[in-house]
Amino acid sequence: MISFVRFILLVLFLSSPFLLKAQVVDQEVHRVVFQVTKGEAADQEQAVGQLNNILKALPNAEIEVICHGKALPLLLEAESQVKDGIVDLLTRGVVFAACENTMRRAKASKEDLISGVITVPSALAEIILKQEQGWAYIKAGN
């Protein structure tokens, strides 16, 4: 009987750190999927400014920026109004992804994207999958 009680106490004692450790890991790795849906010049400037603000506050943040709908031009070599800002963020490890559904509708090809930008089959599916993997979600814009 004593060994049984000791056994229960041991399991209680040993189980708690596993759960705590899992939480600490979540808090140390900052991962965020950042959805951009607007494409006016002011929206593009705002998105780049906000991404820089995140990296200033959380220098080790992993950021994936998903551009779809009206936000596709942000990532187009010939149309982006913030190309320098995008290239700078790319060199600092920010991932930019264009939605392939949007690209088909806009008749844009991968060659039209700023070099280093990736594509995802579906912007919304990607946002769902990232949240399932524990990434925070922020929708950009006003």
Q: Which residues bind a second copy (CB under 8 A)?
A: 7-8, 10-12, 14-16, 18-19, 22, 26-27, 30, 32, 35, 37-38, 46, 50, 53-54, 56-58, 61, 69-70, 101, 121-122, 124-125, 127-129, 131-133, 136-139, 141-142
Cβ–Cβ < 8 Å for 36, 82: no
CA–CA gap between residue 22 and residue 139 (Å, rounded): 26
Comparing C-alpha atoms, which of 102, 133, 123 is closest to residue 34? 123
Contacts of 119 (CB under 8 A, 6+ apart): 97, 98, 99, 100, 103, 110, 113
Nearer to a second copy, 1 or 57 (CB): 57
Nearer to a second copy, 111 or 128 (CB): 128
Nearer to a second copy, 41 or 125 (CB): 125
Cβ–Cβ < 8 Å for 35, 127: yes
| CB of 115 vs a second copy, minimal distance in Å | 26
| CB of 57 vs a second copy, minimal distance in Å | 4
Nearer to a second copy, 110 or 125 (CB): 125
* CA terminus-to-terminus distance, the chain: 64
Nearer to a second copy, 31 or 83 (CB): 31
| CB of 78 vs a second copy, minimal distance in Å | 22
Cβ–Cβ < 8 Å for 114, 76: yes
| CB of 73 vs a second copy, minimal distance in Å | 13
